[in-house]
Structure 1
Amino acid sequence: MDRKFLDLYSDYLISSFGKVTATGLSELLDGELSHDQITSRLRQITGGSPELWYLVKPTIRKHESEEGVLIFDDTLEPKPYSDENTIVGWYFDHSSNRSVKGINILNCIYHNEAISLPVAFEIVQKLQEVTDTKTGKTKFVSEESKNEMMRNMLHVCCQNRLKFSYVLADSWFSSKENMQYIKLRVKKDFIIALKGNRLVALSPDDKCQGHFVNLESIELNPDSCCKVFLKGLDFPVSITKQVFRNKNQSTGILYLACSNLDLIATDINTIYQKRWKVEEFHKSLKSNLALAKSPTGIAHTQKNHIFACFFAFVKLERLRIKTKLNHFALKAKLYFNAIRASFSLLQKLTVPST
């Protein structure tokens, strides 16, 4: 890895306020590196989870604790004007309720009271050619599901001896395979969201006799827990229910499954609220670090740009610890100083009227 260039490029991402280009960086360096040299070096970077862990490990080791949590979630980087390739494709975007062309990234965030840092990530790559049984057309799909990616990333985090107590995720990752892997293989606890149609048994006898009901049919107060047996799961979990109001004033319900039966509902809800940190991570990547503003068109270069954005986030998080300013406040401070420098230069260049 060309660490010197990675530092240079990530600093450019942090200090930029619009589209980032090789030409723009070259001009910023007064031609010290040409456009072609920059694109060549960006293409030569090899950036994945192992390289990210190497870069983030010193900060993690300094601040990690047993109270830490691992948060899994994916994000979609829109690429409406890019040609399709192995990583740019069509994905269903739940926030807009439609299919969007872009890059799908699965992230693992480590969070405790001191830090929030990415420790692993996977970019969905559609490399396997299959024939659609309905249309007869050929299409490309990923060789492994995001649930499989999640378990592999979790395995690597444990291999790296990362200190944490809980795995947090939304209902997309609520498969029985994931839950059993976390509890029985990794020996950690989880708090994962469930959909209301999930089948549960209310007692060991009901489970043995195959008497399962929909989760939403259970009378459950928001401030209480209920021990149930999820269909296909070998151990019981505690279920809590959150009732909230959406922006459109409709009522929403969130069910949470927790593998630690000793926690009360308030504790489960408090720990799960930490999952919001991954949303802050996604927002900072897109708003502060030009995740979707690179014009790169080749899959390998696009992946390296994403990796550089992750490293830029690590730098911002280190600055947050040092300055006590959040990422957006840090960017605002950079923007203000840029305007002040521009204003000062303009004052010097302005010819006084006679």
Structure 2
Amino acid sequence: MAKRQYPGNAHGMVTGIGLVNLVHSSGEAGDFLPLAYRVYASDDDELTKNDHFLAMFEQVVAEGQVLARPLLFDSWYAGSTNLKRIHRAGWAFFTTLKSNRLVNRAKESGYQGLATLGPPAPGWSQGVEIRLKEVPFAVKRFKLVATNGDIEWVMTKHLAAHLPREMVIEAVEVRWQVEEFHRSFKQLTGAEKCQCRNANAQRNHLTCCYRAWVSLRQHARRLGQTTYQAHQQQRRPYLCQLLRNLLIQALS
């Protein structure tokens, strides 16, 4: 299942198994859990990442157990098919757009590249309502500029007249919790250390890793610690016992 792919954090091509994760967050720092995942192996099942995205979303909608309604994702999943399905389900979303996405602010102006749209008269603090090509409902666009000058175009279906810019920034920050999950999942469960060559064995290994991560997260929550602290805490009783009762006596 391993293939060459481009993860954003590596800034280059690497060999690995692609995973698409659906992660639930309470909005609080560090409080998130994976709800579902899919293995991206298009050579085996001919499914794209967007196919997996929709499959997981359909599963959550069908089960009806998730109370949260805003869905946060990056521009890779911001295609018209996904946006229309989320809209039909009655969910809101926050996502980013690539600068070449075709949008318009009025029928008379026609569609043009996102980056070519000028700022609205009041500025970007309240966003601007636009329409995307092939998307039959209006969305609101915000321009966020990082301290290093990087520009991020954020789009939401949340059309409240007084949607504060701070709420948009908060949503973008919460979205990065999926990256926190990816990092801790790989570092704490050994997900990348599977030596199996059989695809089914690799999938079984990943399933065990997800279960281990969730168990560790719940254990950390009971202790009032971070996942990393709880992971280190597991070894502490054993190490303390070794120090009290040395298996090999030091030579005097």
TM-score (norm 1): 0.65
Q: Using CA pairs below 8 Å that are at least 6 residues apart, which structure has the higher relative contact order? A: 1
Per-residue CA deviations over 1:17-73 (Å, capped at 9, x if unaligned) read: xxxxxxxxxxxxxxxxxxxxxxxxxxxxxxxxxxxxxxxxxxxxxxxxxxxxxxxxx
Equivalence for 2:126: 224
Which residue matches 1:240?
Answer: 142
- What are the superposed Cα offsets for residues 291-331 of structure 1, whole Å, 9 maximum, x if unpaired? 11222221111111111111111112211221110111112
1:267 aligns with 2:183: no
2:54 to 132, 151, 168: 151
- The corresponding residue for 1:201 is 104
SS of residue paired to 1:98: coil
Q: Structure 1: which amino acid aligns with 2:118? A: E
Max Rg structure: 1
Secondary structure of residue in 2 paired with 1:95? coil
Alpha-carbon distance change, 222 to 324 in structure 1, aligned in 2, over 3 angstroms: farther
Identity fraction in percent: 23
**Partner Cα separation in structure 1 for residue 244 and residue 118 of structure 2:** 66
1:109 aligns with 2:11: no
**Contact kept in structure 2, 1:200 and 1:212, CA below 8 Å:** yes
Per the alignment, residue 37 of structure 1 pairs with none
State the AA in 2 paired with 1:226. V
Which residue number in structure 1 is paired with residue 12 of structure 2? 98
- For residues 139 and 241 of structure 2, the distance between their equivalents in structure 1, rounded to whole angstroms, comes to 58
1:170 matched to 2:70? The reply is no
Q: Does the alignment pair 1:256 with 2:154?
A: yes
What is the match of residue 218 of structure 2?
A: 318
Q: Among 122, 133, 154, which residue is 2:38 paired with?
A: 122
Displacement of 1:351 in angstroms is 4.7
Q: Which amino acid aligns with 1:277?
A: Q
1:4 — aligned with what?
Answer: none
- Alignment partner, residue 60 of structure 1: none
Contact persistence 1:222–1:243 (CA under 8 A): no
TM-score by length of 2: 0.89
**Rounded Cα–Cα distance in structure 2 between residues aligned with 1:338 and 1:170:** 43
Separation of aligned partners in 2, 1:192 and 1:345? 56
Aligned match for 2:112, one of 202, 210, 213: 213
Query: Which consecutive unaligned segments of at least 5 residues does structure 2 have?
Result: none
1:349 matched residue in structure 2: 248
Aligned CA RMSD, in angstroms, stands at: 1.9
Deviations 1:206-233 (A, max 9, x none): 3xxxx12221223344533010111111
Q: In 2 relative to 1, CA 180–321 (structure 1 residues): closer, same or farther, beyond 3 Å? A: same
